[in-house]
Amino acid sequence: MPLLHTADYVIVAAYLVVVVAVCIKVTRRSPDADELFLAGRSLGVGVVGLSLFASNISSTTLIGLPGAAWSTGISVANYEWMAALVLVFTAVFVAPTLIGSRITTIPELLERRFDGRMRRYLSATTLVLSVFLDTAGSLYAGAVVLMLFVPGLSLGPTCVALAVFAGLYTAAGGLRAVAYTDVLQSIVLLLGSLILFVVVFGEFDYSWSAVTAAVPAEKLSLIRPLDDEALPWLGTLVGLPILGFYYWTMNQYVSQRLLGARDLQTAGKGAILAALLKLLPLFLMVLPGVMAVALFEDLERPDTVFPRLIAEYAPPGLAGLMLAGLIAAIMSSVDSALNSASTLVINDFVKPRRPRLDARTLARLGRFTTLAMMVVAALWAPAIDRFPGLFAYLQQAFAYVTPPLVAVFAMGFLWQGLGARAALRGLLTGHAVSAAWFVATQAGWLSVHFTIVAGILLLVTLAACAAWQAAVGEAPGAEQLAAVDPSAVPRMPTGVRLAALGVTALTLALVAAFH
């Protein structure tokens, strides 16, 4: 791969300087706990929406989406448009409860509906996923990509450098620094991806007919047969909404942006903006990958599609912008995961046991926790390289871990008769089945696609909760039911609900066009 030009290094350096400047500007005052974790609940629509989008687009996305499209076709974009529908659902039906209850963490809501054990269970599970999957995975993938662009870098020091840069400004400024730098990173990501799309589409004379003539028809279809190895249609309809609901609603890593919004309408509009942005990866990241099918036939690994496109077609300067986009994606994912992990530790484990600690002390502990999580993720990230396939197993493990959590969360809202003991036992039962199924899959005894498994595990957990409730018979109290009573919180404003309908219609039209 050719070395970067001087213009590329200038662009990357300029981006890093701007990030530092933005961080310094928004963190001039020492933040207390509410400022550190929720930006004082003052984030605006644009910041919420762009930050939601940026925190989701990681280095693995920029590399993985084009690679998967080159390998299996555009069905990988189903994760993106389904996320748009989930965000719309969350904005209209879940956000009013989240904002109205004035919670700091999602597990806190489960404590109010059930008990403290459920809060700690969800918080601990989210912490493990956040540090060992989201943070370490982004550091590892980002370091690998940077090593492709900049010869001479080694894996361990590169992971550490990325972790230190993101960890320090996250610890210093908290969610406000994370959110405002995410706005900058969203712009860089979108601009770089747009330019790459235009350049690659230009190789086909900007003719969609030329693309369809050069690329196999099955790779240009979103909805794939039931026996499709990449993403069967049943998995799209059943599994992706479950995984998406956890990620966009229950995952502190993402939902913290909604909780930091200044009011309900702002949170709703921000979620709708993020939903609109989630429709763009199909065009800006997936289609360049599938166009590469006609451009590259000699790739050894799909993950090399993105850097190969840049190496072959990017003029001087564009590679630097795309590299800045990669760094932006890495920083956005890492800072989001670190800040959310710190929030969970302080609010779900420290504060309940030390309720008399003042806000400044909690903020200081939060910063130390962020740095500690940074160290753990930086140490784990290089280890991923020593175990071939482990990162892929971790990605699939996400589909095994989250469905039972989604089942209990949904039942807490929808079934007033579910008590705390039955919910916890049902959740443990669901995770026991998940673990057994995962082991059986890795051993080759079962071969069901993991997105379909997610739907099965959801049903198993629902049935387990019902069975345990019948056996235990403990009913929730009035205070527990009030925690999720929709009549106790304001409805999402009509304008946001109409916008949600519009985004839903646009999403379905997009799916119909590429079905």
pLDDT category at 36 given cuts 50, 70, 90 is very low
pLDDT tens sequence across 332-379: 677 667 667 777 787 788 878 887 777 677 767 776 777 788 888 888
Residue 502 has pLDDT above 60, yes or no: yes
pLDDT category at 172 given cuts 50, 70, 90 is low
Q: What pLDDT score does 35 carry?
A: 44
Q: What pLDDT score does 421 carry?
A: 95
The average pLDDT across 224-251 equals 91
Q: What pLDDT score does 315 carry?
A: 76
The average pLDDT across 323-336 equals 70
Question: From CA 332, how far away is CA 175, in angstroms rounded?
Answer: 11
Q: The whole model's pTM is what?
A: 0.87
More confident residue, 458 or 367: 458
Kindly state whether residue 421 falls inside one of the protein's structural domains.
no
CATH (domain of 240): 1.20.1730.10
> Which residues on neighbouring strands pair with residue 224, listed in sequence order?
232
CA 471 to chain centre: 37
The average pLDDT across 155-172 equals 75
Six-digit token pair at 272? 């709708």
Q: What pLDDT score does 436 carry?
A: 95
Kindly state whether residue 470 falls inside one of the protein's structural domains.
no
The average pLDDT across 251-276 equals 87
Q: What pLDDT score does 429 carry?
A: 97
Residue 34 has pLDDT above 50, yes or no: no
Alpha-carbon distances of 213 from 67, 293, 294, rounded to whole Å: 20, 12, 10
Closest of 258, 257, 262, 306 to residue 284, by C-alpha: 306
**In the 8-state DSSP scheme, what is residue 248?**
I
Kindly state whether residue 312 falls inside one of the protein's structural domains.
yes
pLDDT tens sequence across 462-500: 999 999 999 998 888 899 999 898 888 889 999 999 999
The average pLDDT across 284-293 equals 92
Domain span at residue 214? 6-17+43-386+485-513
Q: What pLDDT score does 3 carry?
A: 59
Kindly state whether residue 467 falls inside one of the protein's structural domains.
no
Question: From CA 317, how far away is CA 7, in angstroms rounded?
Answer: 5
Residue 96 has pLDDT above 90, yes or no: yes
Q: What is the CA radius of gyration of the chain?
A: 22
Kindly state whether residue 452 falls inside one of the protein's structural domains.
no
pLDDT category at 41 given cuts 50, 70, 90 is low
The chain-wide mean pLDDT, for the chain, equals 83
Range 442-450 contact pairs with CB under 8 angstroms and sequence separation of 24 or more: 442/393, 449/229, 449/231, 449/232, 449/235, 449/239, 450/235, 450/239, 450/396, 450/399, 450/400
Q: What pLDDT score does 501 carry?
A: 97
More confident residue, 506 or 193: 506
The average pLDDT across 80-96 equals 94
Alpha-carbon distances of 206 from 51, 199, 211, 212, 469, rounded to whole Å: 31, 9, 9, 12, 60
Residue 69 has pLDDT above 50, yes or no: yes
Kindly state whether residue 250 falls inside one of the protein's structural domains.
yes
Closest of 393, 467, 405 to residue 430, by C-alpha: 405
Kindly state whether residue 37 falls inside one of the protein's structural domains.
no
pLDDT tens sequence across 105-131: 888 899 999 999 999 999 889 888 888
Kindly state whether residue 200 falls inside one of the protein's structural domains.
yes
More confident residue, 407 or 184: 407
Residue 411 has pLDDT above 70, yes or no: yes
Residues in contact with 100: Cβ distance below 8 Å, sequence separation at least 6, in sequence order: 264, 488, 489, 490
Residues in contact with 270: Cβ distance below 8 Å, sequence separation at least 6, in sequence order: 43, 44, 45, 46, 47, 48, 49, 52, 257, 258, 261
pLDDT category at 37 given cuts 50, 70, 90 is very low
What is the percent of the chain where pLDDT is above 70? 86
How many domains, in total, are found in the chain? Answer: 1
Burial label for 232, CB within 10 Å (0-12, 13-18, 19+), is buried
